[in-house]
Chain A
């Protein structure tokens, strides 16, 4: 299976987070492949992809990181995960995927995205249509999070 769409997703994540949060550096850890996605972090933002690639990209943030992101953006004291927080982080996922799709369209992948879905909780099984899911761990000065890519170019 070709997975040439993974790098553009990393590049978009890096770019958008740098622009919005002025992150110093995003370190990309080794990508793991799994058949089943069990949430290991509390705030999961799923963006559906349709078209030449089908499936979803899921951004998984620890609670503290999601709060820190929204604190940084809003300049406000944010103590708990609520609709405001999930919506702000959801839009972040939306923008990252939008950016990634622009690059992918130049590589002849023509896709669309669907609005962000928020899945809160650890240990939940997150269903994805694809047979394989690539888990890309990323390390930033805001915390560690994962980008889970469950796409199929079939």
Chain B
């Protein structure tokens, strides 16, 4: 999962956070998709889910604060997307806790996460950049 310069929105703090999320998820995908047994992957999966649960909240807060500072007109919609994502992470965490050795469940979640995150950063967050630059 590769970070691209074109994903930058021009707010240093937010760009750094995006980079960090991409890096962490990259490690996560490498662990999830290696050929080792599920047992050896559990620690990394749990670590990433904890990270997502905490860091993503911090990041979304920073991003929402920037939107408010600039009076971004789509703030409410964007916040809703963030809130739904946070809820999805919480739901998945619960599902995973209840069924830790279910590799399909983790694969399914990781695939969705990959596409969701790239689209969010490459499209929805770029609209903030476009607005700020205007």
Contacts and interface: CB of A to CB of B under 8 A. Distances in A.
A145 B29 CA distance: 27
Interface residues of A, number: 21
Interface string A83-117: 11111111110010000000000000000000000
B23 to A, nearest CB: 12
A76 interface: yes
A88 B2 contact: no
B7 to A, nearest CB: 10
Contact of A74 (B1, B107, B112): B1
B contact patch SS: helix
Contact of A73 (B1, B108, B109): B1
**B contact residues, range:** 20 to 34
B115 A92 contact: yes
B119 A83 contact: no
Contacts of B110: 84, 87
B123 interface: yes
Interface of B: 1-2, 26, 29-30, 32-33, 104, 107-112, 114-116, 118-119, 122-123, 126
Interface of A: 15-16, 19-20, 70, 73-76, 82-92, 95
21 contacts: A16-B123, A20-B118, A20-B122, A70-B111, A73-B118, A75-B2, A82-B107, A83-B104, A83-B107, A84-B32, A87-B107, A87-B109, A87-B112, A88-B111, A88-B114, A88-B115, A90-B112, A91-B112, A91-B116, A92-B115, A95-B119
